[in-house]
Amino acid sequence: MSTVKPKTGTGSLETFNILHGFPEALVRGMRNSFLLDSDYHHLTQCETLEDVKLNLTETDYSEALADMDSISPPQMQSVAIQKLVTEFQYLRTQTIEPLSTFLDFITYEYMIENVMLLLKGTLSGRDINELIAQCHPLGMFKESTMRSIPTFENTPRGYQDLYQTVLVDTPVGPYFAMFLKESSQLMGGEVRNVLEEVEIEIIKSSLIKYWIEDFYQFSQTLGGDTAEIMGEILSVRADTNAINITLNSFGTPLNEPAMRTSDRKRLYPAVGHLYPAGTSMLTDVSDEDELGRVLELFPQYASIWNIHAAGGGDKSIDDAFYERDVQMLELAFESQMHCAVFYAYVKLKEQEIRNMVWITECILQQQKDEINKFVPVFSHHAPWRGKGK
Amino acid sequence: MSRWFRSEVMSYVSLIVNEDAAHNCLADIGKLGIIQFTDLNPELTPFQRRYVSFVKRCDELERMLRFFTAECEKFDLIIESAGDIDQFLNTPLDADDKTGSELLKSMEVELEAHEAQLRELNKYNEKLTTEYNEKVELQEVLQKTRRLFMGNNVPRHKSSPHSDEEDDYESNALLVDIDDNEEHETPRQRARDMDMRFSSITGVVSVEEKDRFERMIFRATRGNCYVRFSAIKQALNDPETGNLVEKCVFIVFYKSLSIENKLKRICNAFDAHLYSLPDMDDMASVDHALAENAQELVDSRTVLIKNQDTRFNLLRMLSMKAERWTWLVLREKTIYHSLNHFKSDVSGILRGEGWVIADQVDHVRDAVNRAHANMDMDMPSLVDFVPQPWPTAPTHFTTNKFTYGYQEFVNTYGIPRYREANPAVFTAATFPFLFGVMYGDIGHGIFLFCAGFFLISQEKKNDEANLNEMAEGLHMGRYMIVMMGFFAVYAGFIYNDCFSLGLNLFGSRWEFKGQEDNNVSENAEAYQKSDYGSAQSVYPFGLDPIWHVSSNELLFFNSFKMKLSVIFGIVQMFAGTLLKGLNAVFFQEKLDLFFEFLPMVAFSGSLFIYMIVLIVMKWSINWNSRMLSATCLELNGADKDTWGSNAYDGEWILCDNGNFCTPWGHSCTGTDTLEEKCNLDFGGSGDGCQPPNLITTLINIALQPGTVDEPLYYGQGGVQLVLLLIAFGSIPVLLLVKPYFLSQRSYRAVVHVDENAEAAEEDHEEHSFGEILIHQAIETIEFVLGMVSNTASYLRLWALSLAHSELATVFWDKAMLSTLNVNWFATYIGFIIFAGVTLGVLLMMDVLECFLHALRLHWVEFQNKFYAADGIRFNPYSFKNTIKESKT
């Protein structure tokens, strides 16, 4: 396993501040940079993107947007993400072990996504510069590494080479190695054929699975509140992934009985509330009804599933998941003396950026009815805050 | 003075201007900085406002100016100052004749032209740099490969390794390697000629990437190739960022085509530039290529330099104008921003409202009229007073250089409520004074005074300079520092303390026995040179230096300084309480005046002012005489009419037994109590002839009301009982009366407004009475307990003064005195230590400490007696402020 073993935990109430008080104070100060309910309200009232930009000049994004002459949703997204990355990197420079490793763990997810984006992009023959521009800045390797990734052939041999020449140097290399090893074992030691028939999405799901498991182990070794809160967050994350993988497999080869146990089961993370009883049940699920029956047994997911089962354009299961995530992350952000606040910060900011993009897209496409379908962060009107307060 | 004591009167006016004249009108008013506009369109989001497009255009102009500044920085050009802001605002601009949009338009045209030109030049520069870099790289590649291949000849013939350079040495080793390889693979085919059977690619890669590049090649080809690097000494400009990048030439030897493909891909990924070379065996062609390239290099360099010159000239021109432009844009932006606060009720007419300094309304009116006159428009008077003011008027003080610092000082605590007594006026005098009481030392004070004086001499320069936060603070407090220094010197003279030594300026009035012949024995007592109480016995100014060498120095100084601290404290707090009364009179708050202010005065007067009275009284009573009067003296045959010294003020009277008497004629028996011997008959055991312990006396006011053990005057017990009753009586008044009247008042109001809903309102009223009472209880407790604890708090004046003088003494004794007697070198070192710690501890740390404590005494002990500090700061619409803020 690639799990990094921290020398010491991050401590809890009494000891956390000795080493990590300053970065925590910093990130807590950034609580002020989130958009307020009134900001969202103003944004949804906008008629044009120019108005959006003007409204954002009243918020923390004003400096980031100041030097843009025109604005489009992707541009705004990249600027906002860039701002997040700058803040994150500032935090990263202020931290020491084991918190710094914790922050690095957050970035691994984006690295995996970037590698997969590059591989997928080259398959469809897109330009490498365009692909690099699309990559998430939090998961950037050195430019030369990024450029090397798509140069490998889309064959099992090529992936092997990719791992051996490029990814072995990167933090996500171990996950890739685990994937290759496991695949080859499954195929009876034939490394050559491993990747031929496996789709990129499956590689990605596996890598993310390894990442979640690894991150989970790491945060458990940190101990204290960090273990408790991050454990919960990552468990839910793992369950979400398991449910989504199952849901998305319907109608694909992955749902075929043979593939269910051999491949789909492998993609379920080995942590989370569903593991092991739930995931083994999910293995045998073949359509949505069966999935629903399995989730009935888990109250926390039953309600989310009901939203999906109820259908209707009101809310998708993704929205339901997002909403639950935001609630959990807000709680994590508001409690003290643990590392999960950093994770929560990144994820909440991401949600905020998603909201801004959603709003601007709605404005651009004149879809005013849809504009309120986002999950505001730290909103006073959130369902879990109790209305009318 | 009255302007400093209470803030300026503000009036709320409405401005009606023609839409066309609005811009010029506001351009005029902005110079004055006397009006603060209210936002009349709070319901509109920024982008719905009238002049939003103009604000956006200003933003765009600002973006361009930022771009220019950034470009100028690349050339290390400093943006030149556009001079004084006042001057800029007051010199008539050609812009004044134009309307707002015309001005913006002309600036847009000008700046856009510059920006386009600059961007084009930059683009061109990028292209030229790329070309130039290619030439340089090619040149390097050619030279280095040529040398490499030239060197190759040697090892092939296996002659002695020649190595004038490390490069070549390595290459030799390489070629031997290659040869070996060759022989394994095709042992016999290979002829010993110049024919390279290995293919090679050459190129340039940045030094930073070199290691990773090499590693990648090794991995990709599984070691089946050979790479050589050689650094280019001259760093190259990166065309896009303009940063210097160090690069190195590489050459890779390989065999197969598949490796070549891999290598090309890797080179691509690493952004390595590949250069194809002429046949290396043909020296002539290589030389030719070199010469040709060298020529091109020279040409392209010329073009590049020319381009850079043009850019530099353009930027230099821009750097000279940029600040002026920035100010203009800021001015326009401020105007439009303010116009966004205006409302358009009738088309073509704009209405704005805001607070104006009452004295200056005429200026505003003038400005409005002038603007309309210039536009040849006839409109009636357009500035009117509006009776309905928006919540509370803002607080504005006219300050000068001296008071500005103190005003800011007070504002840091809280902005004064509109028209309330401004503590800054008093702070200006008492703050440096209290500082001086704590810091009292002539020597240290002079240093501080000089430092402040230096800051004042630099005033002009600092006003214009962009100072950092620390320097800005010092600059702002320059007059404060001078004053602090002055009072420190003053208090130093009072304490007679200079670097912890007494100064014998007027000649001590005390003398030790044998002082003349330098023969004072240990434990000798000093005696006064002239009679007690005579004019000659008083040291003219401050304390007698003899105290610094006496053994009861500390006892004496502590008693003196403690009493002084308490007196200053009570006087200052009492003054604060009086200010509360002044505020009550000014705002015509009768309840506050009669049921808050008067009880407070009664309370503090009867207990605390009385304490001062006692202290001063004890100081001024001739205890020598009083104590002598209760002392039994033996006559022993002295003159029966005038048988004593003149220390006793009264008439000397012989007693009945004629031999053992007190000065006033009481016959002593030897077992008389003090009460019997004293003729004052004030009561208690002391009876007036015994100096009292003031602390005990004060405590006993409350503990044993009506009895005084050691009275100072006749009837002291009775007086104190009355005072105590007044003090206790004032507390319930303070606590209950005001809430009662307030609740009465609100009850009546409720009844008037809504007679039907009486029952419902009763609940509400009950509740609010409780609230008022709790509020008042807090006020009362704070005042009553505060008087005690705050008085104690003023003892810090003594404590810090003691700390200061003790520290100074220690430094002098240990660093200077102990080394003075050793030798010159020890003295030299000793002085360095003395000067160092004096500077570090006393002149820096202690100044800060005393500063903070003086600040605390003002903020807490003084200001809580009267200061509401809930005002709103007047934030006028002023170009000067805007431009100044943008600078920092």
d(CA B170, CA B179) in angstroms, rounded, equals 14
Average pLDDT over residues A101-112: 91
Structure tokens at B805: 């003088």
Q: How far, CA to CA in Å, does B105 sit from each of B95, B112, B330, B808, B879?
A: 11, 10, 15, 68, 21
Using the predicted structure, report yes or no on whether residue B434 has a pLDDT greater than 90: yes
Phi first, then psi, for residue B868 (nearest 5°) are: -80, -40
Instruction: Quote the minimal CA–CA distance from A319 to chain B in Å.
Output: 29
Using the predicted structure, report yes or no on whether residue B133 has a pLDDT greater than 90: no
d(CA A10, CA A226) in angstroms, rounded, equals 7
d(CA A70, CA A76) in angstroms, rounded, equals 10
d(CA B97, CA B89) in angstroms, rounded, equals 14
Nearest to B269 among A45, A147, A169 (CB): A147
Angle at B453 between CA B451 and CA B455, to 5 degrees: 75
What is the pLDDT confidence band of residue A190, given thresholds at 50, 70 and 90? very low
Average pLDDT over residues B418-432: 92
Residues of chain B found within 8 Å of residue A67, distances taken between Cβ atoms: 63, 66-67
Instruction: Quote the minimal CA–CA distance from A382 to chain B in Å.
Output: 24
Using the predicted structure, report yes or no on whether residue B204 has a pLDDT greater than 50: yes
What is the pLDDT confidence band of residue A5, given thresholds at 50, 70 and 90? low
Using the predicted structure, report yes or no on whether residue B180 has a pLDDT greater than 70: no
Residues of chain A found within 8 Å of residue B265, distances taken between Cβ atoms: 148, 151
d(CA B352, CA B558) in angstroms, rounded, equals 63
What is the pLDDT confidence band of residue B669, given thresholds at 50, 70 and 90? confident
Quick one: which of A164, A157, A122, A129 has its CA closest to A143? A129
d(CA B625, CA B615) in angstroms, rounded, equals 18
Q: Taking CB atoms and an 8 Å limit, are B269 and A161 in contact across chains? A: no
How many other C-beta atoms lie within 10 A of the C-beta of residue B330? 19
What is the pLDDT confidence band of residue A313, given thresholds at 50, 70 and 90? low
The highest-confidence range among A261-275, B342-356, B595-609, B707-721, by mean pLDDT, is B595-609
pLDDT of B762: 46
- Threshold 0.80, pTM exceeds: no
Residues of chain B found within 8 Å of residue A165, distances taken between Cβ atoms: 216, 219-220
Residues of chain B found within 8 Å of residue A161, distances taken between Cβ atoms: 220
Looking at chain B, which residue has its C-alpha nearest residue A57? Answer: B46
What is the pLDDT confidence band of residue A305, given thresholds at 50, 70 and 90? confident
Q: A229 touching B, CB under 8 A?
A: no
Q: Taking CB atoms and an 8 Å limit, are B270 and A147 in contact across chains? A: yes
Q: Taking CB atoms and an 8 Å limit, are A50 and B47 in contact across chains? A: yes
Structure tokens at A288: 């949505």
Q: Could you tell me which residues come within 8 angstroms of residue B165 by beta carbon, excluding any fewer than 6 positions away?
A: none
Q: How far is CA A34 from the centre of its chain?
A: 19
Nearest to A165 among B220, B270, B271 (CB): B220
What is the pLDDT confidence band of residue B11, given thresholds at 50, 70 and 90? confident
CB pairs under 8 A between A and B: 55
Q: Which is more confidently placed, B589 or B189?
A: B589
Q: Taking CB atoms and an 8 Å limit, are A46 and B52 in contact across chains? A: no
Least confident of A26-30, B389-393, B455-459, B698-702: B389-393
Using the predicted structure, report yes or no on whether residue A124 has a pLDDT greater than 80: no
- Residues B613-650, buried b or exposed e (16+ Cβ, 10 A)? ebbeebeeeeeebbbbbbbbbebeeeeeeebeeeebee
Amino acid at A355: N
pLDDT of B380: 58
pLDDT of B183: 39
Question: Is residue B204 within 8 Å of residue B232, measured between CB atoms?
Answer: yes
Q: Which is more confidently placed, B278 or A198?
A: B278
What is the pLDDT confidence band of residue B146, given thresholds at 50, 70 and 90? confident
Q: pLDDT per residue over B523-532, tens digit each?
A: 888 888 887 7
Amino acid at B784: V
pLDDT of B768: 75
Nearest to B45 among A55, A148, A165 (CB): A55
Q: pLDDT per residue over B595-621, tens digit each?
A: 999 999 999 999 999 999 999 999 998
Q: pLDDT per residue over A357-373, tens digit each?
A: 999 888 888 888 888 88
Q: Which residue has the tokens 């709680």?
A: A331
Using the predicted structure, report yes or no on whether residue B91 has a pLDDT greater than 80: no
Q: pLDDT per residue over B714-750, tens digit each?
A: 889 899 999 999 999 999 999 999 888 888 877 666 5
Query: Helix/strand/coil (H, E, C) string of A243-311?
Result: HHHHHHHCCCHHHCHHHHHHHHHHHCCCCCCCCCHHHHHHHCCCCHHHHHHHHHCCHHHHHHHHHHHHC
Q: How far is CA A241 from the centre of its chain?
A: 10
Nearest to B47 among A54, A164, A166 (CB): A54
Instruction: State the pairing for strand pair B273-275/B199-206.
Output: antiparallel
pLDDT of B158: 36
Q: How far is CA B594 from the centre of its chain?
A: 40
Q: How far, CA to CA in Å, does B159 sit from each of B179, B280, B683?
A: 14, 21, 127
pLDDT of B266: 81
pLDDT of B526: 86
On average, the pLDDT of chain B sits at 83
Average pLDDT over residues B350-366: 86
Q: B119 touching A, CB under 8 A?
A: no
Chain A interface disruption, residue of B43, B44, B47, B250, most A CBs within 10 A: B47
Question: Is residue B221 within 8 Å of residue B201, measured between CB atoms?
Answer: no
Q: Quick one: how many helices (H) and strands (E) in chain B?
A: 31, 14
Instruction: Quote the minimal CA–CA distance from A67 to chain B in Å.
Output: 6
Using the predicted structure, report yes or no on whether residue B444 has a pLDDT greater than 90: yes
What is the pLDDT confidence band of residue B391, given thresholds at 50, 70 and 90? low
Residues of chain B found within 8 Å of residue A50, distances taken between Cβ atoms: 47, 56
DSSP state of A35: P
Average pLDDT over residues A27-41: 88
Q: Taking CB atoms and an 8 Å limit, are B63 and A66 in contact across chains? A: yes
d(CA A96, CA A24) in angstroms, rounded, equals 12
Angle at B577 between CA B572 and CA B579, to 5 degrees: 95
Residues of chain A found within 8 Å of residue B209, distances taken between Cβ atoms: 142, 144
Residues of chain B found within 8 Å of residue A144, distances taken between Cβ atoms: 209, 212-213, 216, 269-271
Using the predicted structure, report yes or no on whether residue A12 has a pLDDT greater than 80: no
Quick one: which of B402, B508, B502 has its CA closest to B459? B402
Computed over its alpha carbons, how large is the radius of gyration of chain A? 21
ω before A299 within 30° of 0 (cis)? no
Q: pLDDT per residue over A336-349, tens digit each?
A: 888 899 999 999 99
Instruction: Quote the minimal CA–CA distance from A49 to chain B in Å.
Output: 11
What is the pLDDT confidence band of residue B485, given thresholds at 50, 70 and 90? very high
d(CA A198, CA A119) in angstroms, rounded, equals 13
What is the pLDDT confidence band of residue B371, given thresholds at 50, 70 and 90? confident
Using the predicted structure, report yes or no on whether residue B755 has a pLDDT greater than 80: no
Chain B interface disruption, residue of A141, A165, A168, A363, most B CBs within 10 A: A165
SS3 state of residue B161: coil
Query: Which residues make beta-bridge pairs with B36?
Result: B355
pLDDT of B173: 42
The highest-confidence range among B11-25, B141-155, B774-788, by mean pLDDT, is B774-788
pLDDT of B390: 57
Using the predicted structure, report yes or no on whether residue B282 has a pLDDT greater than 90: no
d(CA A72, CA A56) in angstroms, rounded, equals 13
Residues of chain A found within 8 Å of residue B67, distances taken between Cβ atoms: 67
Least confident of A283-297, B84-98, B330-344, B866-880: B84-98
How many other C-beta atoms lie within 10 A of the C-beta of residue A56? 24
What is the share, in percent, of chain B residues with pLDDT greater than 70? 88
Computed over its alpha carbons, how large is the radius of gyration of chain B? 45
Q: What is the DSSP string of B572-601?
A: HHHHHHHHHHHHHHHTT-HHHIIIIIHHHH
Nearest to A148 among B45, B60, B216 (CB): B216
Instruction: Quote the minimal CA–CA distance from A55 to chain B in Å.
Output: 7
What is the pLDDT confidence band of residue B25, given thresholds at 50, 70 and 90? confident
Residues 242-271 of B with CB under 8 A from A: 265-266, 268-271
How many other C-beta atoms lie within 10 A of the C-beta of residue A313? 8
pLDDT of B171: 42
Nearest to A164 among B46, B219, B269 (CB): B219
pLDDT of B16: 85
Model ipTM value? 0.71
Average pLDDT over residues B469-493: 92
Least confident of A305-319, B56-70, B345-359: A305-319
Q: Taking CB atoms and an 8 Å limit, are A148 and B266 in contact across chains? A: yes
Indicate the length of chain A as a whole number: 389
H or E element, residue B650: none
d(CA A149, CA B173) in angstroms, rounded, equals 34
Question: Is residue A264 within 8 Å of residue A245, measured between CB atoms?
Answer: yes
Q: pLDDT per residue over B549-584, tens digit each?
A: 888 899 999 999 999 999 999 999 999 999 999 999
Amino acid at B491: A
